[in-house]
Structures are given as C-alpha cells and as structure tokens.
A and B are shown apart, each in its own frame.
Chain A
Amino acid sequence: MKQDRRAFLRLVSLMTAAGMLPRLAHAETWNQAAFAAKSVDDVVKLLGGSAPQQSDQVILNGPEIAENGAVVPLEISSKLPGTESIAILIEKNPNTLAATFNIPPGTLPDVQTRVKMNETCNVYALAKSDGKFYYAAKEIKVTLGGCGG
C-alpha cells in the first residue's frame, strides 16, 4: 500500500513537471506586483498595508557581515499576538521583497531562511498582526571576500 502511494506520488510529480497535468488551483496567486516593487513603502502598500511601525516585538536576527551576499542567513520571529504573516524586505535589492510567509494558527511566528543581498543595506522583517504592519530593521554588510577558503 505504502509502495503504491509513493509510486503514485512520484508519478504525479513527474507528470506535473512534464506539464501533463492541469495546473492545480492554489489558494494563493503569486503577488507579482509586490515582488516587482522597488521600495520598502511600495512593497508594504502592495501587501495591503501602510505606515508600518517599528516594534521591538519583531525580532530580526542575522549576521553583521555576510561573507557572500548570495547566502545571508536570517531568523525572524514575532512576539506580537496573532501574527498572521511575516515578510522579508531587502532595501537595495533590484526588487525589494524577498519572501512572505503566512502563519496559520498553530504555527509559531518564527522562520529561518537564507536570502540574496545585492549589497550592504538594511534588511526589514515585516510582521502583520491584527491587520497592522510592524517591522524591525538591521543593516547587514555584504562583501565578496578573498581568494578561497
């Protein structure tokens, strides 16, 4: 039974990859506009917010210096009650918005991931709680580094 199911899943996967199945309807459509926005303010607007407030209840943890901007590890957590989503914005990237995460009830508002940074700039962690947006910001220095290692 398990074997069949695994084989089926693999088949579904393969068929989807080959474009043989109709594209499944998702609860979400990718927010193209938000991901094309080029400033923090524009992103917040396109995420349905305005005038985000700085809050020490939003915690952005990351390195002071990233040895390589291709991989910058970040951890974002929110102590705001009822945090429903978290977003990562990188001020000087070609497109400011890097990622958004929906936090359903039962999931902790705490995510870790890695992002690309084009150059030294501010990284913003945006948290939505009770319909309002709050943020924490941190400057992360980016440098390519030397000859190897």
Chain B
Amino acid sequence: MANAIKVRSKIEGDVALIRLLISHPMETGLRKDTEGQLVPAHFIELLTITYQDRTVLSAQWGPAVSRNPYLAFRFKGAQKGEKLRITWVDNKGESQTDEAVLE
C-alpha cells in the first residue's frame, strides 16, 4: 500500500461534502536532503474525481500544494452507496486510482 487516499464523505440533502487526504510527497525540487543534495521535484499534476461517469472536480496542481495533500469540496446529486473515483497523475508519470463508497 505505497500510496493511499483516505476519503470521508457526508451527504446532507443531495449535497455531498467530500474530504480527501492523499499520500504523496509533493516535493518542490527546491528542498535539500540531509546530505545537501536537491530532492527532485515529485508532485501531483492532475487530479480527476468522477461520480457515476461524470467529472465532479478536476484540478491542476503545482508543487506548492502541501505534502500529503488535503482537499475538501462539495457536489450535488450524490447518493449514499454510490462510488466516487479519484485519479491522480504526477510529474513522473506515476498514477493512482482509488474508489470510495459514499456514506
């Protein structure tokens, strides 16, 4: 389980509040390690969140988004028991997709 995404959902009426925690180093490429070497840039560039085949949020990120990014947003028309799919792609071309069941 190298990269995890933790999702919390809360549906009130037909609006779902989604809170995500994504495990990712989000390295800027400007930080030096303990040996004084620059740690290469490694950060999520694209994030796409879909619900029942429609995109409910898409984002473009730079390395200024904090490490282990937190994101909260709300969308309408959500139903308990349905799935949310989260996909990210980072600058190294690595990708992760996770699904969460809405509560």
Contact = CB atoms under 8 A, between A and B. Distances in A.
A and B touch in the complex (CB under 8 A): yes
Interface of A: 9, 12-13, 16-17, 19, 23-24, 26-28, 30-31, 35, 70-73, 90, 93-95, 97-104, 106-108, 110-117
B70 A106 contact: no
A26 B57 CA distance: 14
A86 to B, nearest CB: 9
B57 A104 contact: yes
B11 interface: no
A113 B28 contact: no
Contacts, number: 123
Provide the main secondary structure of the chain B interface: strand
Interface in B46-78: 46, 48, 54-67, 69-77
Given A19-B93, A28-B46, A113-B69, A106 B62 contact: no
A99 B15 contact: no
A113 B57 contact: no
B22 to A, nearest CB: 11
B57 A107 contact: yes
A104 B94 contact: no
Contact of A30 (B3, B15, B45, B70): B45
A106 B75 CA distance: 6
A114 B62 CA distance: 12
A94 B41 CA distance: 13
Given A12-B97, A30-B91, A99-B60, 19 more contacts: A13-B95, A13-B98, A30-B45, A70-B66, A100-B60, A101-B57, A101-B73, A106-B77, A107-B73, A107-B75, A111-B57, A111-B73, A112-B70, A112-B71, A112-B73, A113-B69, A113-B72, A115-B65, A116-B64
B73 A99 contact: no
A28 B96 CA distance: 17
Contacts of A113: 65-66, 69-72
A17 B95 contact: yes
Contacts of A100: 59-60
A141 to B, nearest CB: 17
Contacts of B64: 90, 93, 95, 97-99, 115-117
Contact of A97 (B45, B62, B71, B99): B62
A26 B48 contact: yes
